[in-house]
Amino acid sequence: MRVIDSHVHFPEPKIIDDGSPAGDESSIGRKGIGYTSGRSADPLRAAHPWIEGEKARWETAWRFPSPVEVSPEEGERLWAGECAKREYLEKVVFVTAGSNDFASDLVRRHPGEFRAYAHHDPLLPDAAPRLERALADGGLAGYKLLGPAIGKSLGDRTFDPLWECAQAREVPVLVHFGIMGGAGGIADHINMSPLTIHDVAKRFPRLPIIIPHFGCGYLFETLNLCWACPNVSIDTSGSNQWMRWMPYEVTLESLFRKYRETIGATRILFGTDSSWFPRGFTSAYLDAQVRAMMDVGYTEDELDAVLYRNAAALLKLPA
């Protein structure tokens, strides 16, 4: 088995110098809609102990240790160690790493193990030139966005220079849609549904678009988007606890079966959404997903595609 984890969040440095938001899991409970540097106190958490109880329940269910704060230097050392001690883990892709410059430095220092995406506010006046610099000069391999953290529809044509840049560079744009964070997170927003980016995918047919977490609750919409737009893929990252509050029964097995039936195994990328230590690389997610794929009949070739080849193609790794 060989694995590329296509969805990892580097432990967030204290200083964020380019307006980048926190990652998916570290956004739990954040109520701010705009991209912000740093975190603010969340009054919703204080008013509703149920939120912390749900977080504790989730950690217990997966037997996760509580997060501890690590310095950027320690986080770098720990992630390099995660790759070194697992022969099958060939690369991790940091979809967030605090700033584009820091992400570039990580990749430069660890070209064998690390890849990273740009992750800056698309509403910045220089968002497109910033992306071009990150890709051309910084060696970054894609662009990560949190839809419910952007105060304008991603279908708006003012974002076209970003899509043009990514398409010209042939790098993927990964956009989180759906519920953001755990209990107490964001559930309603102009960029909640993956169909928001339907027209973008049609206007830029050579732009690889990745929808993480199987669509994060927007299963029907994501399947329709993928059916209509061959340049859209999905990733499997996270615990996918959104399955619990769907109005009908959803399991990992049913997700892997349905996406395989709809778009085939070549447009499914494995990811964990790993983010903090001492948890590190979330091997429990890998085990659960491999078991689910095996249970619904994925072949060895399809497993290799999901776990490695599909991400390797997007990252332009040597064959």
**Alpha carbon 254 to chain centroid, angstroms:** 21
**Which regions in the chain score pLDDT beneath 50?**
14-41
Of all helices (H) and strands (E), which one includes residue 281? none
Residue range 3-314 forms a domain whose CATH class is alpha beta
Q: What is the pLDDT of residue 37?
A: 32
Q: Give the residue from 40, 26, 30, 190 showing the smallest Cα distance to 94.
A: 26
Q: What is the pLDDT of residue 49?
A: 77
Q: What is the pLDDT of residue 24?
A: 45
* pTM, 2 dp: 0.90
Of all helices (H) and strands (E), which one includes residue 140? none
Q: What is the pLDDT of residue 13?
A: 52
11: which DSSP letter?
P
Query: Tell me, what amino acid is at 65?
Result: P
Residue position matching structure tokens 């995660």: 82
Q: What is the pLDDT of residue 56?
A: 82
Q: What is the pLDDT of residue 59?
A: 82
* Angle subtended at Cα 61 by Cα 288 and Cα 116, rounded to the nearest 5 degrees: 55
Per-domain boundaries in the chain = 3-314
34: which DSSP letter?
S
Q: Give the residue from 140, 148, 202, 208 showing the smallest Cα distance to 172.
A: 208
193: which DSSP letter?
S
Q: What is the pLDDT of residue 186?
A: 83
Q: What is the pLDDT of residue 55?
A: 81
Q: What is the pLDDT of residue 42?
A: 57
What is the C-alpha to C-alpha distance for residues 198 and 215, in angstroms, rounded to an integer? 14
The torsion angle over the Cα atoms of residues 34, 133, 105 and 40, rounded to 10 degrees, is: -10
Other C-beta atoms lying within 10 Å of the C-beta of residue 190: 16
**Alpha carbon 295 to chain centroid, angstroms:** 25
308: which DSSP letter?
I
What is the C-alpha to C-alpha distance for residues 299 and 136, in angstroms, rounded to an integer? 37
Q: What is the pLDDT of residue 187?
A: 87
What is the C-alpha to C-alpha distance for residues 206 and 202, in angstroms, rounded to an integer? 9
Strand stretches in the chain, DSSP E = 3-9, 89-96, 114-116, 143-146, 173-176, 209-211, 232-235, 268-269
